A and B are shown apart, each in its own frame.
Chain A
Amino acid sequence: MTTVPLIETRQLTMNFGGVQAVQNVDFSVAEGELRCLIGPNGAGKSTFFKMLTGQLVPTAGEVRFRGRPISGRQPHEIARLGIGIKTQVPSVFDGLTAHENLWLAASRGKRGRAIDRAVDEAIERLMLRPIADRLVGQLAHGQRQWVELGLVLLTEPVVILLDEPAAGMTDDETTRTAELIHDINRTHALIVVEHDMAFIRKIARAITVFDRGKILVEGPAHRVLSDRRVRDVYLGKRAA
């Protein structure tokens, strides 16, 4: 008997007018897996994430979560099922403090003292203590990314989608984020979109490559990264 994938898409397609952002994608991720998703600009990675999280309703095809079809459900319902996302443009509450941001996320599934305890833990883990009472809108880009990561973690998802988590980070922050991703992966499945190849090498096990809305290659990191077609699309050449 085969096990049911955590997330599975079948013939998933998204058209924007004439633009075919995602075309007939069959994709699956297992429980606990860490998957990297790479591909050139405009390949359809963010659009793919938007369909997984209910921000976009697919033109065709379907998304399944642990075997249940979820496409067409409301974003908050999908979040409650256990799909968390850190978006490409940080999505936080700029007018609230870091602490207030985290409190909101923790308060969804918890009550009373448990909320405070979870928030405290997240502040430690993400090293946000010195900035906990500052407005998130006033924080540096890297710090806002971590606040957002905290928001995602505190909702206790089963799988976390990270859309370019290291974008705009300093080298130190990037290293720290890579460590964090491995740490998170001990308890959560992850799908990570990144352009930074050094970062991908640090974290990658299995990689899926998107190109022009389709899956170009998929497999273990070492094989995918040495694939000629992958180099070609990244260098702007098109595979024949």
Chain B
Amino acid sequence: MSVGRVVSYGVPAVIGLALLIGLPQLLDLFVLLQVTLYVVMAILALSLAFVWGYGGILCLGQSAFFGLGAYAYAITAFNIGESSLPVVIAILLPTLFAAALGYLMFYGRISEVYVGVITLTVTLILFNAVNSTASPEYRIGSALIGGYNGLPNVPSLNFPFDPDNTLQPDDVYMVAMATLLIVYFGIRWILRTRFGRVLVAIRENERRVEFIGFDARLHKLAAFALGAGIAGAAGCLFVNWGSYVSPTIFSMIQSAQIIIWVMVGGVGTLIGPILGAVALSWLTAEVGTQHVINADILFGGILIVFVLLVPRGLVPMLTEHVWSRVMQPRRKVAVAAKLAAPGGRA
């Protein structure tokens, strides 16, 4: 392994493990609960960072899979009581749903814009459908779906196959943080495989990928489904964080937030969306407690500022800035050489 690679994997691994083990010792419970939420949102941000930033699929309704994961966990947890199977279902259901949706979209070869429109529509349909199930006849097994009232008192995670031993808030934090690390390093590993490289190539030029002989439709479907599974895992953790889920999880605002996190952090990076999700979730919470300015207006403002001033996002801008600093001396020499060369133009 090269030094560069050791650093690029080692630094986030060390920081991640330090946060995983250290924060429960350092923070009081209230703050740790807040941080858990930010971690969950970071996982959600990574799901879109992968699908959009590397797969080139602009999914405007990533919250659909987040919400499906949350509801799938809640409803099965009420019915089963033990949380192991519900966790699996919370990941599997959005994955399969996305695979079916992806099949229609990618094998139907609809254009990019329509992928955006369809994914947005799907999450709005889910919102309306779940929202209108308030009356008690809407139930799945022993779980009332609850409509706009949502589902309160969702059974929390237990240690695998040990239903009486439920996770405490600091355990939930550690599960969330470990999930974030697994997802982050998992995506980085995928991007190094042939599948990941083909995916990035599809973003660059889908036609040429097909001329080479790879099935672009299948690759996109797989990436889309994988992203949905990650969003589902985030949904499952989200319910456990608040032991509550309501249809607003499917709302347009929720979908828009995910897109903004990724944009602000930097499309085509992983660290960027993580930082974007954490920073903006923190900001939302702060603004919420101070009642000075409406959070949606603030978000809209941030979005506009970034689109106009930092269109590629923070992380690409910062890395480029550092890069140009490092490269500056050499560039000056190159320019000087050009000027000195006969026929060189200023």
User: Is B212 part of the contact surface with A, judged by Cβ < 8 Å?
Assistant: yes
User: Is B210 part of the contact surface with A, judged by Cβ < 8 Å?
Assistant: yes
Number of interface residues of B (CB under 8 A): 18
Chain B residue with minimal CB distance to A105?
B212
- Are B210 and A75 closer than 8 Å at their CB atoms? yes
Mark A190-227 against chain B: 1 for CB-CB distance below 8 A, else 0. 00000000000000000000000000000000000000
Among B97-137, those with CB < 8 Å from A are none
Interface-central residue, B197, B200, B211, by most chain A CB under 10 Å: B211
- B313 CB to nearest chain A CB (Å): 16
User: Is A4 part of the contact surface with B, judged by Cβ < 8 Å?
Assistant: no
Measured CA separation A92–B207 after assembly (Å):
9
Interface-central residue, A55, A105, A151, by most chain B CB under 10 Å: A105
User: Is B186 part of the contact surface with A, judged by Cβ < 8 Å?
Assistant: no
- Are B201 and A96 closer than 8 Å at their CB atoms? yes
- A24 CB to nearest chain B CB (Å): 27
Measured CA separation A152–B213 after assembly (Å):
10
User: Is B214 part of the contact surface with A, judged by Cβ < 8 Å?
Assistant: yes
Complex interface: chain B residues within 8 A of A151 (CB): 208, 211-212
User: Is A187 part of the contact surface with B, judged by Cβ < 8 Å?
Assistant: no
- Are A79 and B201 closer than 8 Å at their CB atoms? no
Complex interface: chain B residues within 8 A of A93 (CB): 201, 204-205, 208
User: Is A103 part of the contact surface with B, judged by Cβ < 8 Å?
Assistant: yes
Measured CA separation A38–B209 after assembly (Å):
28
Measured CA separation A75–B210 after assembly (Å):
6
User: Is A176 part of the contact surface with B, judged by Cβ < 8 Å?
Assistant: no
User: Is B194 part of the contact surface with A, judged by Cβ < 8 Å?
Assistant: yes
Seen from chain B, the residues whose Cβ lies within 8 Å of a Cβ on chain A are: 194, 197-198, 200-201, 203-205, 207-216
Seen from chain A, the residues whose Cβ lies within 8 Å of a Cβ on chain B are: 53, 55, 74-76, 79-80, 84-85, 87, 91-96, 100, 103-105, 107-109, 151-152, 155
7 contacts between A and B (CB under 8 A): A74-B210, A84-B211, A91-B205, A108-B213, A108-B214, A109-B213, A151-B212
